[in-house]
Each structure stands twice: as structure tokens, then as C-alpha cells.
Chains A and B, each alone.
Chain A
Amino acid sequence: MSGSEPLLRLDGVTKVFYTDEVETHALAGIHLEVQPGEYVAIAGPSGCGKSTLLSILGLLDSPSEGAYHLNGRPVEKLTASERARIRNREIGFIFQSFNLIGDLTVFENVELPLTYRGMKASERRERVHAALEKVGMAHRAKHLPSQLSGGQQQRVAVARAVAGQPAILLADEPTGNLDSTNGEAVMELLRELHREGATICMVTHDPRFARHADRSIHLFDGRIVEEDHSPKAEKELEESGFEMN
């Protein structure tokens, strides 16, 4: 494993929020490595720091202490616009509350990250169609989000996250607002993306969904308390001769 460079690497990352003279240690000394193509589930009780961890991974926020290497590059020194560029090209976000923009059509929502790249309109159209096709929403391209069900909205959000072909997908409880059928469908979509090679970090409460991942990280009070590997991952690791202790 040491031979290949991890896609994401956190070293002793700490995040402290200061509000009204109260310090909240949202993250405390996180070490984490995510390999390219890995599917990591992040679990833990409410308020333990899952979203905070994801936002640091997604360059929405910076660590108070510690180092974060993305693709081998330290991100601390990046300017605001470089961070925006990385968010735009290398990271795809899927949110619990979908976060589609109500005034934009399905097509325009998916197109949004591509427009920030200054991509040609014809190429954008192609990519958006491919992404919508993948999530099975191509026939709703002209609809507004308010005309879709929750599950359909989340599928559009997935399409938006993957349209730009980012290196890494970050999902914060993507099924939190969905019933089990719709939730299952979205998870299936992520699994499929993973099979196609996407690197995924997903926050979830649901142990059933955590099992889909290669590996689960449990957070408690801002610390990683245990890491376990799903049966599938264990099997793969065994095959590669890796020995667990």
C-alpha cells in the first residue's frame, strides 16, 4: 500500500469552532488516508464531526491544525480561487438536502459546475446528457426541481456531482431525506459509480449502507475510534495477502 500515493491524506487534522467564547473541538487529531478508487463510509453519532470532516476534505473549510494533502499536494497554501477550481474540477458533492437550485431546470443544475469551468456549450450539453442518462433522469431535463420527487431530485444531484468527472465524490447523508426505496436506488447508483472507479467518501447513519463501502470510519467526539472493513473489503485484502491484527 505504501507504494501508491493516497488520493486524500489528513495528518493530525484538528478543527476548532469558536462561538461566544465557547470552543467546540469538532475534529481532534484526525489521521486519514483514502486511496484512489476507495469507497469510505463515515459514521458516528450526531455532532461527532462527520460533516466537518467532509467539508475539510471538500475544501469548503480549512483545518485549524494539521496537514491535508490532496493528490499529494498540500492544500493549506492554495488561494481562494485555486480552492474553487479544485472544488469545481476534482470534487463532486452530494448533499443530504439535494441543494438543487430552484430557479434552474434539471439540465441547468447539472450543467452548473461545468459553466464555472468555461467549458464549451456543446461539450457541456454532451456531459450533462451523459450524466443524466446515467442516473436515469434524461427525460426530466427540462423540469424544475420542484416538479420532481425527493428521490428524483437526489438522482439529479448525483448527476450534477459526476457530470464534471471529478476524482472524488463526497456525499453527506445522501439518503437522509429519502424513503428506503429511493435511498436504496441512490446507494445503488453510488455503488455503480464506485465500480466504474470513482473514489467516494460518504457520511451515513445507516449501517446497511455503510456495508456497501470498502471501509467504515467511526467518529466519536471528533476522533476516529475505529475503522472496520466490510466483508467485501476484507476479502479483497485477504486476497492481496494483507493481514489484519
Chain B
Amino acid sequence: MEALLHDIRFALRVLVKNPGFTLVAAFALALGIGANTAIFSVVNGVLLRPLAYPKPEQLTMVWLDNRRQGIREDITSWPNYTDWRDQNQTFQRMAGYRSTRLNLTGSGEPEEMQVVMATTNFFQLMGIGPALGRGFVDDESQPGKDNVVVLSHGLWQRRFGGDPSILNRQINLNGQATTVIGVMPAGFEFPSKTDMWGPLAPNDRLRAARGAFWLPVIGRLKDSVTIEQARAEMNVIAERLENEYPDINRGYGVNLVPLHETTVGNVRTALLVLLAAVVFVLLIACANVANLLLARAATRSREIAVRSALGAGRGRIIRQLLTESLILAITGGAVGVLLAWWGVDLLVKLGPENLPRLSEVRLDSRVLGFTFSLSLLTGIVFGLAPAIYASRLDLSEMLKEGSRTGPGGKRANIVRSAFVVTELAFALLLLIGAGLMIRSFARIQNVDPGFRTDRLLTLQLRLPRTKYPDGAQVNAFYQQLHERLAALPGVDGASATTSILLPQLANSSGFVIEGRAPDPQEQRLELPFDSVMPEYFQVMGVPLLRGRFFTAQDGPDAPNVAIINETMAGKYFGSDDPLGRRFSFGTPRNDSDWITIVGVVRDTKRQGLAAPIRIESFMPAAQNPSRGMEIVIRTSGDPQAMAGTVREQVRQLDADLPIASIRTMEEIFSTSIAERRLNMLLLGIFAFVALVLAAVGIYGVMSYAISRRTNEMGVRIALGATRGDILRLVVGQGMRLALAGVGAGTVLAFVMTRWMSSLLFGISSTDLWTFTLVPVLLAATGLLACYIPARRATRVDPMIALRYE
């Protein structure tokens, strides 16, 4: 114990006495440990920490396995849900739920709410009940008795000031008086960012329609039932349902996915890639510090020799030096935690809104424990090699004058060189990773979405059924709004569609084409459809390839018409002319169900810049009215500047109508690639840090080597070496290390980048450009890092050779 205190005291004295060394080493470690702590806290919050529900491992999504269309996580119908629920023995409960948006009006500004309608067993299943008031009772699943709602803590605080008298108060949702029966505890937002939960009360038609697929299902496994057991049982049930209802259920199975997997599965790869990146950054920092320590051990060899001459054993000396490196590492760790604290804050702020569980990311005791262990491990990793080296110093060798490179010079040199090569290899790996992300990002930014995204303002409206009960009223409202918006100064054009972008679960339906034998394989392929107002394509800048756009003549009483996209035209009509051909959603009952194709428009990347293009169809809103529409306004100036005016126009038409997400098209696209951008940015930052650390590493080793070899350089110059000879010598030795590192790193990257191929877009994980440019960049950096000490070597005064120390 006393020896330990002595070691610590001495270590502190040594560290304080070399402030330059201590600062550089601690800072390098702080960078490495800080980055690890920050990313680990994200990994911990998102991937590792169990979901914040009781026994979260029992929670399982019960998806319809749609083998017909290859959608493994599809939604199901009410009759299928009840059969699954009633026939199984492995689940405690199964609940169905459906997210919608409802307008909250009455007190204050109208606002669109994210509402989840769930079966009445939902809260019991989740294992969390309201903190205030009550959950649903069975009776409330009857249509007409379902006008109750449970608020989220966030909404309660924000909109109602956390007033407990909110219980039993009536609020107005889509014009319907609804009673608040409870408030959920803070943090409960299932499935995500939900404002309120209401009871799901499907009408008799939906309860009977086995072919209407609209319901996601979640289940809670019984205690001590494994997911495999549940899978086996659900497969049997699904098979039974296939046989019982072959017309509808043929090709439909059940796919159980742990809720945790559903929640975070999409970001796992990105997070693990980032975690690997920061681990490499830390290893590079360790190698740097180890090299600094090795250099110092060599200069301290006299002190160490004296210690061993005085009888200190090897173990004693290793312990002394390890104490120093551990103190360094823990200092680095402490500063690293500060960096991470700040970094996590920034990450949570910068993080794209669709990154799951971001709000759960913080520096908790597990993260701090991780950092502390990491610091200790780091201290041992970078401290051990120098300590062992120093403890092996040979007294007699030390006293020998013959070799000027210092005692044990050669062996230590090899270790130092190995560290530098490793550093460079890791840095190259990170740089290639970052390069691939940057190239992907550039690719995706250059994707032509197929329409003009500039000067386009968008907003979402949803007309409540109570106020606009039929299609004529809906159409009248949007028609009026269109006229008002189009007349505004600064507006070049305005229109509306049910959906600008194509969501994963878009409005779609099975369809048949007249005169075309239904292909059994394609029979159930669904065709997404959108209702658009006149001039929609013109405002969006989507070119017409054939036929015509919709006109005012395509009214409710005119024949049904549709415009299809290029992909659909190619897939179903090939070289034939699709104009004038007819199709129908479902089997047509009479002639008026047929829809005539009047135009073909160019494909657009509506499903996402990185997603493949699906078949699509569009119908005039006048023939197919929709309460929810997305308004698009092409402005002549800054679209954001028009937001207030547009809001005012909506308010003048209907003061109770909330406006959801008024955004420019460029914002929408930028959000859609936000996660990619963040990944690229983070990996880029880590790669840059790695590059700097590696450059510092090679610079440090070469500088140190030169400083140890000043005399040799003087002798060489005295013997007639020119500036060029010396430059070549030093740069050549440095570049040998650099190229070894670049070579090893290229091989490493070649093997490892395949793990990130799912994060890439438009390039392969062995993209030739990246694998050419990045090694050249690193080699050039290495050259520069060697050149500086090399130039110093050429300036050595050859007189040094005459001087005898």
C-alpha cells in the first residue's frame, strides 16, 4: 500500500515535470475515450438498454408474413388478429393498434395530434398504466362508446399545463367531443412520439372483413415461453388459417419480431460501424501514447538503470511505469467524459428525428462504468509495452558507448515502427469508411428526384368528417383554397395531392387490367394510388410523357380517368400504348368501375432517393376526394417566407383547421437523408481525428528517431551526404512505414467495409475511387509528416561530429 502511494506520488511528479508530454498524451486519450464514451452512450441507450417496459423481452411484434409480395413485416386484418389472439397458448395478451392523426380544436390554436387507437387490453399488455386516471375498459371497444382518450405526459404538460383537473374533461378531436380519462407517465410514447391513445372500436364491417389488412399487432409472451416456442405455435395457427381461408390467406404466415428489434433494427448497423470506428480511434491514440512513453522510457533509461542497480525487480519497475500510464489514462478518461457529455448533447440535438430512442441516450452509470474500465484497459494497453521494454534494459548495454542510437535501440525501434504501421492501417480503414459514406452521400444528393424541389412549400391538411361529411364539401374546400393560394402574389402555382412522397404503407389496392389475363403471380400486387388536384404535375415539374394531364372536365360525373407512371406503363403495357386502356381496383362490378388511362408521367423518386421505383397511379381528386391532402405551392421567391401568408389563407377558410408540418420540399429531402448525413459526418469526424493522430504518430516517431540520430546525421553530412541524400534517407525510412501501413490498411478495409454495405448507396463497399484516392491521401499525409523531421535532419550542423560528448 505504501509502495503504491509512493508509486502514485512519483508518477504524478514525473507527469507534472513533463507538462508537454502529459498534455499531448492526455489529450489524445481524451479524444479517443471521449469518442468511445459518446458513441457507447448512444449504443447503450438505443441498442443495449432494455426498452422501458416491464419484462420488455416478452414484447413481440406479431406481423403478417406476406410471402406473396415479400413483405416480411406486414399488417393484418381484424378477423386474423382475433384468431391469432384466441387460438394461441403462448401469449399472455395480443393487442392491435393503429396510428392516425386527429385535429385537436377548442382551446387555443388547432393542432394535429398523433393518436394511437388500440384494443382495450393495450395498457395491460404494455405493463404500464396511466399515472393519472384510468385506462380503457372492454366496453369502450364498442363504436359509440369509444369517445375517450388517454393523454401522453408530454401533451398534458405542453397543451394543458399539467393540470390534474383535465380528467373527465371534454376535448374536441376532429369535431367529436372526447373525454380525457387518463394521463400516461412521462416517457411512455409507444410506438413513438404519440400524443394520445384511444380505444380501437372497429365497425361491424371491419370486424368481419378478413381481406382488409389494416392492423399492426403486438403481443406479450407468457412467462418462460421463448420466442421460438411462440413461433412454432403461430406457424401452426397461420397454416390453419391459410387452409381455412385460402382465397384470402394463401401465402400469408406470421412473423414474430422482438419489439426491441423492430424499434432499433434499422440503426443497428450504423451504430455498430460507428462504435467500431471509435474503437479504432482509441487504438490509434493508444499506439501514439505508447510510442511517446517508449521514447521517454529510452531517455529515462538511466533513471531506470539506477533503480534496478539499487535492487528494484522487474515487477517493481513495470508497476511504477504502469502507475504512470494508468494515471494518464484516467486523466484522459475524465477529460473524455467531459468531451462525451458535450458530444452526446450535440448528438441528441443533431440526431435526426426518426432515430429511435434518441431521447433515451444519456451518460448513465453503465456508460461511466464503461468509460472507467476502458480507461483502465487503455492505460494497460499503451503502458505495458513501454514498461516491459524499460524493465528489460540491460545495465551493461546501457553503459556501452559504441552505439549512438541508445540502449536497446533496435528492439524499441521495431516496436515503435509496428505501432505506427498499425496506426496508419487503422486510420486508412476509417478514412475509407468515411470516404465510402461521403461518396454515397454525394451519389444520393445527385439523385434526380424527377421533379423540381426548389421554391416549393408544402403543408398537410386533414378535414374533419364532422364538418365536411361528404366528398362534394371536401372538394369545394380544396378548390377554394387552391383559388386563394394561386391568386397570391409570389405564388407561381398551387395544387394538392394525397401524398407527395410515397410512404412504405401507401394507399394501395389490388387491381386488374382490362383485356389482360390476370397473372397469378401478380394478382395480388398492389397499386398505390393518389388523388391529385388539377395542375399538380405542372406545379411539381413532373413531365408528361404521353397523353394529357387532368383538367377541370375530369369531374365527379365524367368517366373515371387515371395517369400512371413510366414504370407501370413499361411493366404492364411494354411497347403497347397504355392510353385509352382501362384498369380497376378489385374486380369491377359494373362498367363505371373501370378507370381509363389518359396519361403517362415520368417516374419520380417519391419513395425515397435510395428506394426503387414502384408502379404508381394518380386520379383526379374531383373523382376520388380525400379529406387529408398535402398542399404544394411553387413560389417565385423564398418559399419559407410565404408560410405566414399561406397559414392565414387556410385560417380564413376554416379557423379550426390545424396545419401540420409546413415545410419546404428541400427541408423534406434534407430530413430524408438526415440519418445518412449524420452517419457520414460522424464517421468523417472520427476518420479525420484518426488521420491527425496517425500523422502525429508518424511525425513523432520520425522526429524522435532524428533527435536520437542527430549525431549520425552530422557524421553523414561530414562524410559528404547532400541535403537530398539526407532527405531521401529520412523520408524513405518514414515512407516505408507509411506504405506498410497503407498496404495493411487497404487489405483490412477491403475485408471490413463489407459490413457497412447496407449503409452505402450507389457504390460498392470496395469502390475503386475510394480505394485509390484515400490511400494516396494517407500516403501524402505520411510524406508531409516525414518531410518536416527530414528537413530538420538536413539542418544538423556537421560540426556536431567533431564534438565529443
Q: Which residues of A contact B (CB under 8 A)?
A: 51, 54-55, 58, 60-61, 80-81, 84-89, 91, 93, 95-97, 99-103, 112-113, 116-117, 144-148, 153, 160, 172-173, 176-177
Contacts and interface: CB of A to CB of B under 8 A. Distances in A.
Given A81-B723, A93-B801, A177-B804, A146 B718 contact: no
Interface stretch (B262-270, B384-392, B403-411): B403-411
B715 A99 contact: yes
B720 A55 contact: no
Given A101-B712, A103-B410, A153-B402, A84 B722 contact: yes
Given A84-B721, A116-B719, A116-B722, A146 B802 contact: no
A10 to B, nearest CB: 18
Contact of B402 (A88, A112, A146): A146
Given A102-B404, A102-B405, A116-B722, A51 B716 contact: no
A218 B373 CA distance: 70
Contact of B409 (A54, A102, A116, A160): A102
Given A81-B722, A97-B804, A60 B403 contact: no
Given A99-B711, A99-B801, A153-B402, A85 B409 contact: no
B630 to A, nearest CB: 74
Contacts of A148: 402
Contact-size category for B: 20 to 34
Contacts of A61: 799
A168 B489 CA distance: 95
B400 A146 contact: yes
Contacts of A88: 719-721
A171 to B, nearest CB: 10
Nearest to B405: A102
B159 to A, nearest CB: 77
A52 to B, nearest CB: 8
27 contacts: A55-B802, A60-B797, A60-B801, A60-B802, A80-B722, A84-B722, A85-B720, A86-B720, A87-B717, A87-B718, A89-B720, A95-B801, A99-B715, A99-B801, A101-B712, A101-B716, A102-B403, A102-B404, A102-B712, A103-B405, A113-B719, A116-B725, A145-B403, A146-B402, A148-B402, A153-B402, A173-B804
A89 B804 CA distance: 25
Given A84-B717, A116-B721, 12 more contacts: A60-B802, A81-B723, A84-B720, A84-B722, A86-B720, A88-B719, A93-B718, A96-B802, A113-B719, A113-B720, A160-B719, A177-B804
Contacts of B145: none
Contact of B802 (A85, A91, A100, A172): A172
A87 B721 CA distance: 9
Interface in B755-805: 797-799, 801-805
A215 B803 CA distance: 25
A95 B402 contact: no
B243 to A, nearest CB: 82
Nearest to A117: B720
Contact of A60 (B410, B721, B724, B799): B799
A47 to B, nearest CB: 12
Interface string B722-758: 1111000000000000000000000000000000000
A177 B409 CA distance: 23
A145 B798 CA distance: 20
B720 A87 contact: yes
A34 B717 CA distance: 24
A37 to B, nearest CB: 22
Given A101-B715, A113-B719, A116-B720, A144 B403 contact: yes
